[in-house]
Structure 1
Amino acid sequence: MRDIQLVLARYGVWARDNSGVSWSPIAAGFKGLLPTESSKVESCCDDDGLIVDAAVGRLAAVRKPEEVTLIMLHYRFGLSKREIARMRKVSEGLIRQQLQVAEGFVDGCLAMTGAVLEMDAYTQKIRVAKVA
């Protein structure tokens, strides 16, 4: 079972880094040699990013567009749930519930498609065996 919040956090960094077309000041072939802006969370690879992006796109097509907005605000732009709640003038608990539904949908899409992500080795929830 993967930790969908960690998957979405890595996806958010990937989406932020890969959005828009811009000129790169680094010569072709040398990208990645210079350190980029540091982030608390690592990015995912392009293949994983595209897979998760498809699941988020499915969320936009099937569910409410507000849920996609929540995922983008929280994971891509780094706004806290409290900040989002203040912006929308609703309770933080409501934002938490809506975000949890959106995360569950994306996790379900990934599970239903049988997607195997490269980052799965790092995003697995550790199961602790209960001793009776």
Structure 2
Amino acid sequence: MNRDRDMYEVMERWGAWAASDNSGVDWQPIAAGFKGLLPHGKKSRLQCDDDEGIMIDGCVTRLRMTRPDEYQLVIAHFVIGISLRTIAKKRKCSDGTIRKELETALGFIDGVLSCL
């Protein structure tokens, strides 16, 4: 469980980094799909450094090629900052389903990272 939490925090920092226009991942089309659901006001978020950000970008790009739904979830939650509950409502499914999907995505990213 601790490893999952660490990966979640890594992805939160990457999301802040990516949202600051550092990322090569094109996430704007996904943001358009959540128009009207964007969180109000951006609080400053802790970011990863460029080296870590670029490495995670590569992993997220691989996720995009193999698991597009999970990729969209990662972008919506970590980059755009939409809550998992809001994403579940938008997709008309349970919070648990979204959490499991996110867990799978984080496992995929973690696996790709460990191969690098």
Q: State the partner residue of 2:85.
A: 82
Gaps in structure 2 of 5+ consecutive residues: 24-41
| Displacement of 1:38 | 4.4
CA distance in 1, matches of 2:76, 2:63: 15
Mapping of 1:1-132 within 5 angstroms? 3-18=6-21, 38-39=43-44, 41-62=45-66, 64-113=67-116
Q: Which has the higher helix share?
A: 2
| Displacement of 1:83 | 0.4
* Matched-pair identity in %: 39
| Displacement of 1:68 | 0.5
- Larger RCO (CA within 8 A; separation ≥ 6): 1
* TM, length-normalised to structure 2: 0.75
CA-atom RMSD in angstroms: 1.8
* TM, length-normalised to structure 1: 0.67
Please tell me the residue identity of whatever aligns with 1:46: D
| Pair member with larger Rg | 1
CA distance in 2, matches of 1:112, 1:19: 23
| Displacement of 1:65 | 0.2
| Displacement of 1:56 | 0.5
Please tell me the residue identity of whatever aligns with 2:59: A
Question: Where does structure 1 differ by over 6 angstroms across 4 or more consecutive aligned residues?
Answer: none
